[in-house]
Homo-oligomer: A and B are copies of this chain.
Amino acid sequence: METDTAMAVNTTQDETRTHSDQDAWRELARQFRVDSIRVAANANSGHPTSSMSAAELMAVLVSKYFRYRVDEPKSANNDHLIFSKGHASPLYYSILLAIGAIDEPEMETYRLKGSRLEGHPTPVLPFVDVATGSLGQGLPIGVGLALTGKRLDRLDYRTWILCGDSEMAEGSIWEALAAASFENLDNLTAIIDVNRLGQTGPTRYEWDLDVYANRIGSFGWHTIEIDGHDVAAVDAAYAEAIATKGKPTAIIARTIKGKGVAWEENKNGFHGKPVDDSDDAIRELGGRSSIRIVPPSPDEEAHAHVFAAGELKLPTYEKGAKVATRKAFGDALAALGAADESIVVLDGEVGNSTYTETFGNRFPERFFQMYIAEQQMISAAVGMQVRGWKPFSATFAAFLSRAYDFIRMAAVSQANLYLCGSHAGVSIGEDGPSQMGLEDIASLRAVHGSTVLYPSDANQTARLLALMANNKGINYMRTTRQATPVIYGADEKFEIGGSRVLRSTDTDQVTIVGAGITLGEALKAADTLAADGIRARVIDLYSVKPLDTKTLIAAARATGRVVTVEDHWAEGGLGEAVFSALAEAGATVEGKLLAVRIMPGSATPEEELQMADIDADAIVKAARALVGGKDSK
């Protein structure tokens, strides 16, 4: 049993420790405090006091319970440890130093330029699974890891999450608590460091541990209340957590912020700054030491479960048929899932709208219902991809905004996420503005290293999704609610960063750039313009990020006039991407950016496009004005 795993100990500086030695844990905790103080002092910034409160909690954990091969941080059987309170990074790095993951020279680079020891942990360090620092994210990500352990990998690694008490106010924590008990995640342990003080003052419940225990208990968790500085109690709590089956355990630990330095203990005003008189503080604590430990070893025999995989057979659609891209997304996702056993799907209880239900019906073991909890849906996906799974998460594009902070942080975590937002734009019609994704392109483009795809027909959707599934980073596909005509053949090729010129002559007078629902409007507009004798080039900008600047520049140079049209707010969308790329290329144009500039209400899809001035008529009018305007000069 894992609790019996011996703590291996290196003897340094004549120190010899014995198995389960409480004195050793106290010594290690003391060292963690000293190391936290000195690195923050060295950097002249950081959160030593928030580190010091959890020193015993972590000393016992890494000495006796946390099964980890330091030499192989990605080993399949390693436990996971996430600092949901990422600001306690001095403590985290003190652990890494003690287990030999980093050395003393690196320890002294904390928060300095180029250091892997950033202000808050990030996966620049191979020991860090995910970036934290935005509170309330570690626990929901831990739910994703624990779910993966139970239902995907089917390995017995444990996930340990160190939470702060302040972050218990975040709703995402309660989404996680609900999901974890519902899924019977007894491989998940939350360690709540109740040090009573937040950044500006006391937390809402200070040291009322019962409030936490009652609430977390009512959420279906086993709870244990302890003095977080009593190593025997901490030890017993971990043993009890491991022994508790069928439900996750929360250890609610009363601790003292700044513990160990008399003049800062349990006092307000010392958050997020180096300890005053750090040399004195270290002296008070007994000075520096260099205890090194080896955490218990994981079982090396077990292998992660692998699902069966077959051949890829993407769906195809007849040209001229009317198919919603959201439907094609669902079909293609199921097809990709059949061929790639690492694909898993998370639903925000709208799977019959996004069409992830197609995958769910076919591969129920790889389908995760996260209910109406978008933050947890994204967090779980982040946890799953840590373990090498490819998580696709889908909801209405509008509701991805609920998880924006989680997507932002996923990029810092270097995560590979696959997102789909359906019901984009005013063209959803009757449901009204609350359901219309009109800011998704802007917000998802503004994520580091993201990819934003916006297909206009069913065949293109399937092809692009296949490409997206092999792309790294934060990937986003925008789909349309209503059925639109299939305009591409089933074997046409597309690429991430590509575009498609659909109408073109050598004497085009204006370029029209659309994507998704507006591409059909652009084509209709081109027909109308042609009847007037105005030659319009039409570009399908299905890859909104990265952008096919080459094709855009060529069109701009050839026509001198560009109309962009998108079912999205005017800010941060397709139009701004195009016009700033052209300006950077020195490809000067007269431009018109057609986008949604009114607050829409309910109406039919056609009426919505018309009222927002993004339909074929609006494009014709804009193109005529540009062509006429230039000619009349």
Does A261 count as interface, using CB distance less than 8 angstroms? Answer: no
A599 partner, pick from B43, B204, B412, beta carbons under 8 A: B412
B373 adjacent to A171 (CB under 8 Å): yes
A603 partner, pick from B114, B401, B449, B589, beta carbons under 8 A: B114
A169 partner, pick from B120, B178, B435, B545, beta carbons under 8 A: B178
Does A312 count as interface, using CB distance less than 8 angstroms? Answer: no
A430 adjacent to B45 (CB under 8 Å): yes
A434 adjacent to B134 (CB under 8 Å): yes
In the complex, what residues of B have CB within 8 A of residue A131's CB?
433-434
Residue of B nearest to A203 (CB): B371
Does A590 count as interface, using CB distance less than 8 angstroms? Answer: yes
In the complex, what residues of B have CB within 8 A of residue A182's CB?
204
B601 adjacent to A114 (CB under 8 Å): yes
- How far is A375 from B373 in the complex, measured between Cα atoms in Å? 13
B134 adjacent to A603 (CB under 8 Å): no
- How far is A90 from B433 in the complex, measured between Cα atoms in Å? 17
A432 partner, pick from B133, B434, B601, beta carbons under 8 A: B133
B169 adjacent to A171 (CB under 8 Å): no
B576 adjacent to A580 (CB under 8 Å): yes
A199 adjacent to B431 (CB under 8 Å): no
B134 adjacent to A399 (CB under 8 Å): yes
In the complex, what residues of B have CB within 8 A of residue A448's CB?
438, 569, 599
- How far is A458 from B470 in the complex, measured between Cα atoms in Å? 48
A352 partner, pick from B199, B562, B575, B590, beta carbons under 8 A: B199
B200 adjacent to A349 (CB under 8 Å): yes
A120 adjacent to B45 (CB under 8 Å): no
- How far is A46 from B435 in the complex, measured between Cα atoms in Å? 13
Residue of B nearest to A572 (CB): B572
**Chain A 106-120 interface mask (CB, 8 Å, partner B; 1/0):** 000001111101111
A120 adjacent to B431 (CB under 8 Å): yes
Residue of B nearest to A178 (CB): B169
Contact (A171, B375) CB under 8 Å given A439-B408, A545-B571, A591-B586:
yes
- How far is A441 from B442 in the complex, measured between Cα atoms in Å? 10
Chain-B contact segment, one of A210-218, A322-330, A332-340, A503-511: A210-218
Does A405 count as interface, using CB distance less than 8 angstroms? Answer: yes
B347 adjacent to A200 (CB under 8 Å): yes
A583 partner, pick from B118, B172, B573, B582, beta carbons under 8 A: B582
- How far is A350 from B201 in the complex, measured between Cα atoms in Å? 10
In the complex, what residues of B have CB within 8 A of residue A604's CB?
113
**Chain A 590-633 interface mask (CB, 8 Å, partner B; 1/0):** 11110000010111100100010000000000000000010000
B352 adjacent to A200 (CB under 8 Å): yes
- How far is A372 from B133 in the complex, measured between Cα atoms in Å? 13
Does A353 count as interface, using CB distance less than 8 angstroms? Answer: yes
A357 adjacent to B200 (CB under 8 Å): yes
Which residues from 112 to 143 on chain A have a C-beta closer than 8 Å to any C-beta of chain B?
112-115, 117-120, 122, 124, 131-136
Closest approach, in angstroms, between the C-beta of A176 and any C-beta of chain B?
8
Closest approach, in angstroms, between the C-beta of A202 and any C-beta of chain B?
10
Does A577 count as interface, using CB distance less than 8 angstroms? Answer: yes
A433 adjacent to B122 (CB under 8 Å): yes
B603 adjacent to A592 (CB under 8 Å): no
**Chain A 364-405 interface mask (CB, 8 Å, partner B; 1/0):** 000001011101100000000000000000000011011011
A402 adjacent to B401 (CB under 8 Å): no
A111 adjacent to B602 (CB under 8 Å): yes
Residue of B nearest to A428 (CB): B119
Does A446 count as interface, using CB distance less than 8 angstroms? Answer: yes
- How far is A215 from B177 in the complex, measured between Cα atoms in Å? 11
**Chain A 188-224 interface mask (CB, 8 Å, partner B; 1/0):** 0000000000111101100000000011011100000
A372 adjacent to B119 (CB under 8 Å): no
Does A166 count as interface, using CB distance less than 8 angstroms? Answer: yes
Closest approach, in angstroms, between the C-beta of A551 and any C-beta of chain B?
17
Does A443 count as interface, using CB distance less than 8 angstroms? Answer: yes
Does A584 count as interface, using CB distance less than 8 angstroms? Answer: yes
B136 adjacent to A372 (CB under 8 Å): yes
B86 adjacent to A434 (CB under 8 Å): yes
In the complex, what residues of B have CB within 8 A of residue A445's CB?
442, 571-572
Closest approach, in angstroms, between the C-beta of A373 and any C-beta of chain B?
4
Closest approach, in angstroms, between the C-beta of A30 and any C-beta of chain B?
26
In the complex, what residues of B have CB within 8 A of residue A175's CB?
169-171, 174
- How far is A172 from B201 in the complex, measured between Cα atoms in Å? 23
B602 adjacent to A591 (CB under 8 Å): no
A120 adjacent to B586 (CB under 8 Å): no
Closest approach, in angstroms, between the C-beta of A103 and any C-beta of chain B?
19
In the complex, what residues of B have CB within 8 A of residue A178's CB?
169, 204
Does A299 count as interface, using CB distance less than 8 angstroms? Answer: no
Q: Which residues of A contact B (CB under 8 A)?
A: 43, 45-46, 86, 111-115, 117-120, 122, 124, 131-136, 166-167, 169-175, 178, 182, 198-201, 203-204, 214-215, 217-219, 347, 349-353, 357, 369, 371-373, 375-376, 398-399, 401-402, 404-405, 408-409, 411-412, 430-435, 438-439, 442-443, 445-449, 545, 562, 569, 571-573, 575-577, 579-580, 582-584, 586, 588-593, 599, 601-604, 607, 611, 629
Task: Sample 5 A-B pairs with CB under 8 A, ordered by A number.
Answer: A122-B601, A133-B435, A215-B218, A448-B569, A582-B583
The 9 closest A-B pairs by CB, nearest first: A171-B171, A133-B434, A572-B572, A588-B588, A583-B591, A442-B446, A113-B603, A174-B174, A119-B432
